[in-house]
Amino acid sequence: MLAAEQLPFILAPTAATVDFNGGATVHAVIYAPQAEATKNGSGIIYGALITKSLNFQGGSTIEYDTDLKTRDDLPPVVGSGLPRVITWDINTQ
């Protein structure tokens, strides 16, 4: 597993969609505030994910490294630095 200072910062400010499929593990800080993200299958997103929406299907997880708050190449952290869910809507289709 990569340390927080080694996680790549992926900047996609105008992306409409971000899709993660299969059982792959992603190690990154992903900034795509306009994107509707989808994660299908198993696998882990290790780092941070900033998106407009997120749809999880399968056994996916997000693991946030609290040491990310000390990186000076990322936007500043306000508050505890712990992950936040701004809104939540459960769709049971």
**Does residue 44 lie within any of the structural domains?**
yes
**Does residue 86 lie within any of the structural domains?**
no
Residue 1: CA count within 13 A, CB half-sphere: 9
Residue 59: per-residue pLDDT:
79
Which residues are CB-neighbours of 79 under 8 A, at least 6 positions away?
Answer: none
Phi, psi angles (nearest 5°) of residue 75 = -55, 150
**Does residue 79 lie within any of the structural domains?**
no
- Give me the number of domains the chain comprises: 1
**For residues 72-89, average pLDDT:** 61
SS3 86: coil
pTM: 0.72
Q: Which residue has the higher pLDDT, 24 or 46?
A: 46
Residue 44: per-residue pLDDT:
85
Instruction: Print the domain residue range for 13.
Output: 4-64
DSSP code string of 38-73:
EEESS-EEEEEEEEEEEEEESS-EEE--GGGGG-TT
**Does residue 48 lie within any of the structural domains?**
yes
**Does residue 43 lie within any of the structural domains?**
yes
